[in-house]
Structure 1
Amino acid sequence: MKTIQFIAILLFATTFVQAQDINENQVPSVVLNTFKTEFPKASDVEWEMKGDQFQVEFEIGYFSDYEAWFKATGEMLYYEEEISKRKLPEAVKNTIQQKYDAYRIDDVKKINKKGEISYAIELEKGREEINIIINENGQIK
């Protein structure tokens, strides 16, 4: 388990080091066009280049934070939306209750990868924190 946590931290740190904030005029037009088509109401848009991919953080409405990832070709790889735990499907809530009853839900992101929905969930128990990914049917990935 410690090896997995170390690898996750290492990957996060490597991604963070390689991330570079960029201006919208540095984003390929095909990426911008896809983004604006998919998210026409996006505001507070911030772009980053991570490796050969473009990451954009933005808001829709007042309290809806999103993050989307694109290839340089304009293909959207996936997007995430921060959501309330109240919006989790019952199957996901049931899995968490059955397998992680002692934990409380701290953070939830709904992930849409080409129409396949899953949820990245941060769970806490005291000082312990774990991250899990569950599909919309309640299966842990």
Structure 2
Amino acid sequence: MKFFLNVLFALISLNMLSCQRVKKSDVPKAVKATFEAKYPGEDDPDWRLDRNDNFESHFKINGEHYRADFSPNGNWIETERNIKKKELPKIIREKLKSDYDDYKIVEIEVVDHHSKGIFYDVELKKDGKKQDIEFTIKGEIIN
């Protein structure tokens, strides 16, 4: 448990270093409008500017944490939510066990992307090297 908390703290710290908080008043109107249209009723997100100058909104829906990214002109890019391994489709869990059993799972996200659609992003680690693998709902690797 202590190891998990240390990893979680490191990930949060890294995320905070890679993103800069933005005042709500500094978020472009087009970004706010797209956010409000996509997530009606979610009117109090925390905003950050990522290293690509995209705007990240951090918010909750039904107690679940989400992050949605928007380009400066207001185009929605993607929405992500962390999930547990047991929430992955069975076919992906089986693929991880058969092909990546000697890897440690660092993070799992379900992603809704503007061009790729819904997929699962699994971050793995082995011998100090991290690797992200994106899976379709059917367990096919897309990256």
Letter in 2 for 1:109: E
- What SS does the aligned partner of 2:139 have? coil
Q: Is the 8 A contact 1:43 1:60 kept in 2?
A: no
Letter in 2 for 1:28: P
Residue 130 of structure 1, CA deviation: 4.3
Residue 80 of structure 1, CA deviation: 0.6
Residue 43 of structure 1, CA deviation: 7.0
Residue 29 of structure 1, CA deviation: 1.5
Report how many aligned residue pairs link the two structures. Answer: 126
Residue 99 of structure 1, CA deviation: 0.3
Q: Is the 8 A contact 1:118 1:136 kept in 2?
A: yes
Could you say which residue in structure 2 is the equivalent of 1:28?
28
Could you say which residue in structure 2 is the equivalent of 1:111?
111
Letter in 2 for 1:37: A
**Structure 2: tracts of 5 or more residues without a match:** 1-13
Identical-pair percentage = 27
Could you say which residue in structure 1 is the equivalent of 2:37?
37
Distance of 1:122 and 1:44 partners within structure 2:
29
1:60 aligned onto 2:61: yes
| More deviation, 122-131/91-100 | 122-131
TM-score by length of 1: 0.72
Distance of 2:107 and 2:44 partners within structure 1:
21
Q: Is the 8 A contact 2:122 2:132 kept in 1?
A: yes
Q: Is the 8 A contact 2:36 2:43 kept in 1?
A: no
Could you say which residue in structure 2 is the equivalent of 1:92?
92
Could you say which residue in structure 2 is the equivalent of 1:134?
135
Q: Is the 8 A contact 2:121 2:135 kept in 1?
A: yes
Distance of 2:55 and 2:128 partners within structure 1:
34
**Root mean square deviation of aligned Cα:** 2.9
Distance of 2:30 and 2:99 partners within structure 1:
43
**Structure 1: tracts of 5 or more residues without a match:** 1-11
Q: Is the 8 A contact 1:54 1:71 kept in 2?
A: yes
Distance of 2:58 and 2:82 partners within structure 1:
11
| More deviation, 35-44/95-104 | 35-44
Residue 107 of structure 1, CA deviation: 2.4
Letter in 2 for 1:27: V
| More deviation, 38-47/88-97 | 38-47
Q: Is the 8 A contact 1:44 1:59 kept in 2?
A: no
Distance of 2:93 and 2:41 partners within structure 1:
30
